[in-house]
Amino acid sequence: MDAPVRAVPESAAAERAAMAEDQRTFEEFFRGEYDRLFRALCLVTGSRPEAEEIMQDSFLKVWERWERVALMEDPKGFLYRVAMNAFRSRYRSTARALRRTVTLTRADDAFGAVEDRDVVIHALRTLIPQQRAAVVLTSLLDYSSEEAGRMLGMKAATVRALTTRARASMRQTMEDPR
């Protein structure tokens, strides 16, 4: 996506026009990206409500910074980075909460609703969240290990290791579904 050029406002009217232009370009950006981000987050989180929550949070943060994000070389990359940060943050707090919880329950399981229809989803369910995030970023969204590592806050080598283990695990699950 080409970075939109934003004129420096010279008056209130010009500023207002620039704001409207920002609004328009962001909406275009949103409509172009939200479904793909949502689906990727569904695969990563395994929870549809959580995916929707993270997606909206991420778009809101991008929106608040749109005048700068729009000037970036890759606004989409920034969006996914924000989303993965939100995922990691939520995963950590959820993990802490789970450690304190006696009975573990899963609220809404996106995989549960579709697993019978797709072996990949069935296989993803067996992975730990970091593996799911790594494999989705590299295999679905086609990011390099370095880019995925930056998004997930880990080294590229770690991403590669996670991806390798995830693929092996998925392959095994898909070959021997039970």
2 closest CA partner among 30, 25, 22: 25
66: tokens are 């749109």
Helices (H), 46-155: 48-64, 66-69, 75-100, 110-114, 119-124, 129-135, 145-152
Query: Can residue 125 be called a binding residue for another protein (CB under 8 A)?
Result: no
CA atoms within 13 A on the CB side of 158: 12
User: For another protein, which stretch binds (CB under 8 A), given 71-79, 95-103, 134-142, 143-151?
Assistant: 134-142
Query: Can residue 82 be called a binding residue for another protein (CB under 8 A)?
Result: no
In the complex, the smallest distance separating the C-beta of residue 47 from another protein, rounded to whole angstroms, is 11
Using CB under 8 A, list all residues that contact another protein.
15, 19-20, 22-24, 27, 30-31, 34-36, 38-40, 42-43, 48, 51-52, 55-57, 59-60, 63-67, 110, 114, 117-118, 120-121, 124, 135-136, 139-140, 142, 167, 170-171
